[in-house]
């Protein structure tokens, strides 16, 4: 069974006001003090963010336990410095992001100007093991149409700088400011993939291969495909759902490749439209069906994903959990819907942040 690892970016916030706090360096120092040599928590581009990475897990129950543990430890380290963590993909309250002082981060600030100084957004990256770069690129070519559905399921960023954006995942729209972000064409081979990445680095527009921000890519550090479209999820259960669906899609794609089935060659233009539709309405309205790129109710499109990856999900023992998780989101709403419900009840974005900080550890 393929192993799965999850990287989550969390927002550091004041537990009383809900305002983002640029304390990542101090929180990391506290984590290092408690556990010298720890490799769980990392800095991100902005001082108001903290990232953690799980170990590779084959069992989804184990993955869930580790995400809960990492979120709890992050909250504990932050709490010792007077702040807490919130699994919010964008800050509901106005914020002026603080770019880190490292050489890489400063290069990015100079290179991209305001586009690098504003996008304080938090994502969830899922790493799924692959046997080789050839298999990995074959997977990338075949999962492209389905990634917008994962984005819709994870949508958790309706607010930006104190305003309702009318989007369910505004993070994904902000993320498109990076020049290498977004969907890709079909590569066809590992050689063509690596040549494309090398050409992008040689252009000088990006610093290195780590700045290739494709919606899904080969990991630079691990033998994995890295699926990068999801908002950080408010609840652990949603993060696990995204992880198991990503594994199901990867396994399905690998089986199709081994069987000689060609990938669906949708244009990047159409994939961008599907991504926009998912960001705009989440699960609340319609999505573009990955096979036809035509509008259908979100529930119908989610059912199509479950059918497409159903055999792989059944073989890994995840099908019932996948169905239940999708049904829960379709009925109860994504993180974006939860946030809007909190604002409707409390009338305060500060209260939204404070409530979401509590949700983060559930």
42 or 86, which is more confident?
86
- Closest to 53 measured CA to CA, from 40, 38, 71: 40
Cα 186 from Cα 179, distance rounded (Å): 19
Both tokens of residue 72?
């709890």
Q: Which CATH architecture has domain 4-360?
A: 2-Layer Sandwich (3.30)
Beta bridge partners of 171: none
- 114-118: long-range pairs with CB below 8 Å, 24+: 115/177, 115/178, 116/45, 118/174, 118/177
Q: Can you give the pLDDT at residue 102?
A: 84
186-245 tens-digit pLDDT: 999 999 999 999 999 999 999 999 999 999 999 999 999 999 999 999 999 999 999 999
Beta bridge partners of 330: none
183 touches 271 (CB < 8 A): yes
Chain mean pLDDT for the chain? 96
Average pLDDT of 324-347? 97
Q: Can you give the pLDDT at residue 75?
A: 96
Average pLDDT of 161-173? 97
pTM: 0.97
Q: Which class for 61: exposed (0-12), middle (13-18), buried (19 or more C-beta within 10 A)?
A: exposed
Both tokens of residue 127?
């790493």
Locate the domains of the chain by residue range. Answer: 4-360
């Amino acid at each position: 069974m393929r192993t799965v690892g999850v990287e989550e970016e969390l927002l550091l916030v004041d537990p009383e006001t809900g305002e983002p706090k640029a304390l990542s360096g101090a929180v990391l120092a506290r984590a290092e003090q408690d556990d010298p040599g720890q490799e769980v928590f990392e800095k991100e581009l902005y001082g108001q963010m903290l990232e953690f990475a799980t170990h590779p897990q084959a069992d989804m129950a184990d993955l869930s336990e580790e995400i809960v543990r990492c979120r709890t430890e992050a909250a504990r380290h932050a709490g010792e410095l007077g702040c807490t963590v919130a699994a919010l993909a964008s800050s509901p309250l106005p914020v002026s992001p603080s770019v880190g002082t490292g050489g890489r981060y400063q290069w990015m600030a100079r290179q991209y100007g305001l586009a690098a100084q504003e996008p304080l957004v938090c994502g969830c990256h899922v790493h799924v093991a692959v046997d080789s770069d050839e298999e990995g690129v074959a997977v990338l070519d075949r999962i492209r149409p389905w990634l917008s559905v994962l984005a819709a399921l994870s949508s958790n960023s309706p607010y930006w700088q104190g305003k309702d954006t009318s989007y369910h995942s505004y993070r994904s729209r902000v993320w498109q400011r990076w020049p290498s972000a977004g969907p890709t064409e079909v590569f066809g081979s590992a050689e063509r993939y690596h040549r494309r990445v090398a050409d992008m680095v040689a252009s000088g527009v990006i610093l290195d291969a780590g700045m290739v921000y494709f919606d899904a890519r080969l990991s630079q550090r691990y033998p994995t495909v890295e699926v990068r479209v999801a908002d950080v999820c408010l609840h652990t259960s949603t993060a696990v759902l995204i992880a198991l669906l990503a594994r199901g899609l990867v396994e399905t794609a690998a089986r199709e490749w081994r069987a000689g089935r060609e990938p669906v060659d949708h244009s990047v233009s159409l994939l961008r439209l599907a991504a926009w539709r998912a960001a705009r309405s989440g699960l609340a309205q319609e999505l573009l069906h990955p096979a036809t790129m035509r509008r259908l109710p979100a529930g119908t499109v989610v059912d199509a994903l479950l059918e497409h990856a159903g055999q792989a999900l059944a073989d890994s023992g995840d099908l019932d959990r996948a169905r239940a998780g999708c049904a829960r989101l379709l009925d109860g709403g994504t993180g974006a819907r939860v946030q809007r419900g909190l604002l409707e009840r409390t009338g305060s974005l500060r209260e939204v942040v404070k409530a979401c900080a509590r949700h983060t550890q559930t």
